[in-house]
Structure 1
Amino acid sequence: MKKRTEIQQDLKRGFGSAPTGIKILVKWLLVGFGAYVAVRFVCAFVGGVATVLGGILPTLVVLAVVVFLIRAVWRILSAILLLFIILFCVIL
């Protein structure tokens, strides 16, 4: 059985006297936990971006269609107005 001072020294060294298998297990548990946290963070970030784009993209599509229709109608009305002006000038 270890004395109190030996236990304190072991704690200061940080698993210094622990068997190699335990050291490797603890190391890979920490690495696995770090990887888990990183994957969760990336998934949350990608999900957030997808949610934002899912809300913005349809709005932008509708806005683009509206602008296209306004420009098309404006061109048609401009052409009709131009024809009336030309006809008015010819009649006079």
Structure 2
Amino acid sequence: MTAYREYLLSREYRRDMLSSAENSRLLRSIKPLTRSVAAHWRILMWTGRQLEALGRRLQRLSYPYQQQNVYNGGSLPVPRAR
């Protein structure tokens, strides 16, 4: 008898088959979880993009005030178009 056939008839084979069945059961219970995690990840990424855009917009709006502001000894100028 070959080693492979001995393995197929052995107790280890049955144990391995059982563990693979348990693994597939685990995978089935994990799949919906990964789907919801992916959805939340997409939402987080979208929120991040919106915040970035908002930050850029605020930076553009505050540009005149960065030229000469209270912190480097000047007074706040009247905002003017760039």
TM-score range for the pair, normalised by the shorter chain length = 0.5 to 0.7
Question: Larger helix proportion, structure 1 or 2?
Answer: 1
Distance 1:39 1:81 in 2: 60
**1:43 corresponds to which of 15, 20, 39:** 20
* Corresponding position: 1:78 with 2:72: no
Kindly provide the amino acid, as one letter, of the partner of residue 45 in structure 1. Answer: E
Other-structure match for 2:36: 59
Name structure 1 gaps, 5 residues minimum: 1-30
Structure 1 stretches of at least 4 aligned residues deviating more than 4 Å after TM superposition: none
Name structure 2 gaps, 5 residues minimum: 1-7, 68-76
Query: Comparing both chains, which one has the higher relative contact order based on Cα–Cα distances under 8 Å and sequence gaps of 6 or more?
Result: 2
Distance 2:16 2:59 in 1: 62
Report percent identity of matched pairs: 7
Q: What is the count of residue pairs matched by the alignment?
A: 61
TM-score normalised by the chain length of structure 1: 0.51
RMSD: 2.6
* Structure number with larger C-alpha Rg: 1
